[in-house]
């Protein structure tokens, strides 16, 4: 009995420590300017104010960055679902020359850190006139080796008989993909969609490199930029952090089952 | 035969978009980066790539003579050497707690511990920057981000907080895969809880340890947003990382040739680190 009590006390302390920075962020974002850093420390805003949020949207035009982030993350997610489900399905259910060596070569690419290609990628984007554009952010993340791998592993379980029966009935390959394969793949596609949305929403280095104009910045880039200009405005920066974190936290709470599955699936490479 | 050919065509058509994108925006840039690293590609070459000249290994040789390069390497190795084991230990501890037979509300604790993983790095780096500035009653007043000796540790603590939930999940999956018979057999032999942990759990977790320690190491070698946002690499470059050096060299000073060389040093570091761990871990646990 006491062991169980100690165990749960430790677990609870860990949970409080884990959530404390996020709870403090929310509290501080609702405080009047200066209150978060006056002593004795305030943990509860008094009075509660939305002034920081109002300032971000009226004076700093953060709404624009929210829209930028939403456009980039949503289009990258939708496009990558289409592109990687096609490729994952092809690797799983078709026999074609060079399939296995191509698949192995692709997986080998996973060990190369993405930063290695970023410099030539920037030069390429300049040639394509995609610097400082949404497409410049989206295009490099549309095809995902991890996504192809994840979807392929799942698609392996689609019975060949199902596909062959449809072929005998005269269905085109496109119809089979749309009407049979995509519905069967739905659970893994949700997992992958959550992954893609999170990683494109949270991404920092590449958007920082490719975007040069405040009006085009995604939220993380805009936030990093603001934090340099408003070093003293703790409460304001916390409001900006809340706005940046809210979408990913909502997606996580709503779809965590799928996300957590994806994490463990990604670790058992085989 | 006709069916087979139609299938081949369908397969290539399904693969084409991904193959094209991976080739153009991933594979070719990596090869191009290798070439870039042996040229003096700079802002003039950016305007007209013909301006770049072949310089052999000069970029690499110059790096070796630059103190800032060694600072960045030293800091990054510190992140890996101190942060890596700390991350792995905290993750394993959390996994053991969450996975214990006595634990109730497992999904709740798992979700709470995992929450920092999904957060936006830039936002949480900003939160922690302000948290480090607070003087908490009862704790010694440490200038976390302003002191050369504490700043690296401050960044590591934040990274541990941000990422331990991920490895915790991997460890939980590993723990659940340990066959119950092994524990039963150990119990019959009268093994204590500590002995069971040392002689059953740890060896069985070998492959999980390898995966976790390699991915954690890779994570620490690629540290960028944390110092960029929290300390701008300071104080006195005490937190300056390799990726930060690459970013500044490439996109602030527009020395893309030299930056590409830094990128390959990073790659080499990751490769060597992974091989060393792959070589030593299984021997240690078997």
**B137-162 per-position pLDDT tens digit:** 777 788 889 898 899 999 999 999 99
Query: Which residues 198-227 on chain A approach chain B with CB closer than 8 angstroms?
Result: 198, 201-202, 204-205, 208-209, 219-221, 223-224, 227
Test B18 with A143 for CB contact under 8 angstroms. Answer: yes
- Which pLDDT belongs to residue B2? 67
Q: Give the single-character DSSP code of A109.
A: G
Q: CB of B102 within 8 Å of any CB in chain A? A: yes
What's the DSSP call for residue A32?
P
Q: Which of A239, A236, A241 is nearest to A220 (CA)?
A: A241
Q: What's the Rg (C-alpha) of chain A? A: 23
In chain B, where the domains are located: 1-35, 58-285
Q: Using alpha carbons only, what angle is made at residue B28 by residues B25 and B29, rounded to the nearest 5 degrees?
A: 70
Residue range B88-99: average pLDDT? 95
Q: CB of A79 within 8 Å of any CB in chain B?
A: no
Q: Pick the closest to residue A6 from B195, B102, B165, B107 (CA basis).
A: B102
Interface test with A, best of B7, B36, B98, B130 (most A CBs within 10 A): B130
Closest CA to A151 of A192, A115, A112: A192
| Residue A47: strand, helix, or coil | coil
Mean pLDDT of the A231-236 span? 90
Does the distance separating the beta carbons of B100 and A263 come in below 8 Å?
no
Q: Which residues of B touch A256 (CB under 8 A)?
A: 111, 114
CATH match of A21-267 with 1.10.3720.10: yes
Residue B138 in tokens? 């009862």
Determine what percent of chain A is predicted with pLDDT higher than 70.
Answer: 98
SS (H, E, C) A184-200: HHHHHHHHHHHHHHHHH
Q: Which of B103, B118, B260 sits opposite A248 (nearest CB)?
A: B118
A207: left (phi over 0), alpha (psi -120 to 50) or beta: alpha
Average pLDDT over residues B14-34: 96
How many other CB atoms are there within 10 angstroms of residue A17's CB atom? 11
Alpha carbon distance B256, B46 (integer Å): 9
Q: For a pLDDT cut of 70, what percent of chain B falls above it?
A: 97
Q: Give the residue from A146, A211, A267 with the most B CB atoms within 10 Å of its CB, the best one to mutate.
A: A267
Cα–Cα distance, B247 to B186 (Å, whole number): 53
In this prediction, residues A13-18 reach a mean pLDDT of: 96
Q: Please give the torsion angle defined by the CA atoms of residues B10, B11, B17 and B22, in that order, rounded to the nearest 10 degrees.
A: -170
Residues 92-131 of A with CB under 8 A from B: 94-97, 99, 106, 109, 111-113, 115-124, 126
Give the pLDDT of residue B217.
Answer: 95
Q: What are the C-alpha distances in Å from A248 to residues A19, A183, A225, A238, A242?
A: 15, 25, 20, 16, 10
Task: Report pLDDT digits (tens) over B227-257.
Answer: 999 999 889 999 999 999 999 999 999 999 9
Average predicted confidence (pLDDT) for chain B: 91
- State the distance between the two ends of chain B, measured CA to CA, in whole angstroms: 51
Helices (H), chain A: 2-29, 51-58, 62-93, 99-108, 115-127, 134-142, 145-155, 160-168, 173-175, 182-202, 205-210, 219-229, 234-267
Q: If we measure between CA atoms, which residue out of B158, B173, B160, B162 comes closest to residue B98?
A: B173
Peptide bond into B104 cis (omega under 30): no
Supply the pLDDT for residue B136: 80
User: Residue A266: what pLDDT?
Assistant: 62
Give contacts of A35 with chain B, Cβ < 8 Å.
none
Can you tell me the mean pLDDT for A216-236? 93
B126 to chain A: which residues are within 8 Å by CB? 223-224, 227, 237, 240-241
pLDDT band with cut points at 50, 70 and 90 for residue A41? confident
Collect all residues with Cβ–Cβ distance below 8 Å to B277 and sequence separation of at least 6: B210, B213, B214, B217
When the pLDDT of each residue in chain A is averaged and rounded to a whole number, the result is 92
Mutate to test the interface with A, among B120, B131, B159, B164 (most CBs of A within 10 A): B120
Q: Name the CATH topology of B58-285.
A: MetI-like fold (1.10.3720)
Tell me the pLDDT band of B286, cut-offs 50, 70 and 90: very low
pLDDT at B282: 53
As a whole number, mean pLDDT of residues B192-204 equals: 90
């Amino acid at each position: 009995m006491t062991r169980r009590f100690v165990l749960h006390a430790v677990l609870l302390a860990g949970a409080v420590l884990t959530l404390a920075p996020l709870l403090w962020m929310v509290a501080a974002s609702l405080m009047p300017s200066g209150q978060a850093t006056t002593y004795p420390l305030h943990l509860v805003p008094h009075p509660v104010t939305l002034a920081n949020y109002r300032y971000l949207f009226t004076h700093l035009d953060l709404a624009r960055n929210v829209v930028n982030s939403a456009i980039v993350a949503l289009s990258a997610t939708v496009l990558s679902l289409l592109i990687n489900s096609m490729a994952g399905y092809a690797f799983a259910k078709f026999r074609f020359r060079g399939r296995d060596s191509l698949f192995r070569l692709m997986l080998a690419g996973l060990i190369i850190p993405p930063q290695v290609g970023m410099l030539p990628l920037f030069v390429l984007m300049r040639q394509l006139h995609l610097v400082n554009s949404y497409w410049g952010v989206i295009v490099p993340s549309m095809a995902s080796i991890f996504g192809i791998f994840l979807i392929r592993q799942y698609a392996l379980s689609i019975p060949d008989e199902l596909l062959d029966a449809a072929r005998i009935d005269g269905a085109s390959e496109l119809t089979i993909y749309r009407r049979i394969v995509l519905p069967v793949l739905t659970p893994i596609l949700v997992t992958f969609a959550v992954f893609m949305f999170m990683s494109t929403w949270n991404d920092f280095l590449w958007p920082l490199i490719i975007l040069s104009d405040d009006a085009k910045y995604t939220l993380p880039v805009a936030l990093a930029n603001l934090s340099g200009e408003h070093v003293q405005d703790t409460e304001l920066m916390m409001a900006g952090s809340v706005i940046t974190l809210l979408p990913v936290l909502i997606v996580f709470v709503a779809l965590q089952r799928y996300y957590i599955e994806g994490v463990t699936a990604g670790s058992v490479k085989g | 035969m006709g069916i087979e050919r139609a299938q081949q065509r369908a397969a290539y058509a399904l693969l084409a978009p991904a193959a094209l994108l991976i080739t153009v925006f991933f594979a070719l840039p990596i090869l191009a980066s290798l070439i870039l690293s042996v040229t003096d590609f700079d802002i003039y070459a950016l305007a007209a790539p013909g301006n770049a000249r072949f310089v052999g290994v000069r970029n690499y040789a110059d790096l070796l003579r630059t103190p800032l390069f060694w600072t960045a390497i030293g800091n990054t190795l510190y992140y890996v050497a101190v942060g890596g084991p700390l991350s792995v230990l905290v993750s394993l501890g959390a996994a053991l707690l969450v996975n214990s037979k006595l634990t109730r509300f497992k999904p709740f604790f798992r979700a709470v511990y995992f929450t920092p993983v999904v957060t936006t790095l830039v936002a949480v780096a900003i939160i922690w920057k302000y948290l480090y500035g607070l003087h908490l009653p009862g704790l010694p007043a440490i200038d976390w981000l302003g002191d050369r000796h504490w700043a690296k540790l401050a960044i590591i603590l934040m990274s541990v907080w941000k990422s331990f939930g991920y490895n915790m999940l991997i460890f939980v999956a590993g723990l659940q895969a340990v066959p119950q018979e092994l524990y039963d057999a150990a119990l019959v032999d009268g093994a204590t809880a500590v002995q069971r942990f040392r002689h059953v759990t740890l060896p069985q977790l070998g492959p999980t340890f390898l995966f976790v320690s390699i991915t954690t190491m890779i994570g620490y070698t690629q540290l960028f947003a944390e110092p960029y946002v929290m300390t701008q690499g300071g104080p006195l470059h005490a937190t300056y990382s390799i990726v930060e050096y690459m970013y500044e060299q490439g996109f602030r000073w527009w020395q893309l040739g030299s930056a590409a060389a830094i990128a390959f040093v990073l790659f080499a570091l990751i490769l060597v680190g992974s091989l060393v761990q792959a070589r030593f871990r299984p021997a240690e646990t078997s």
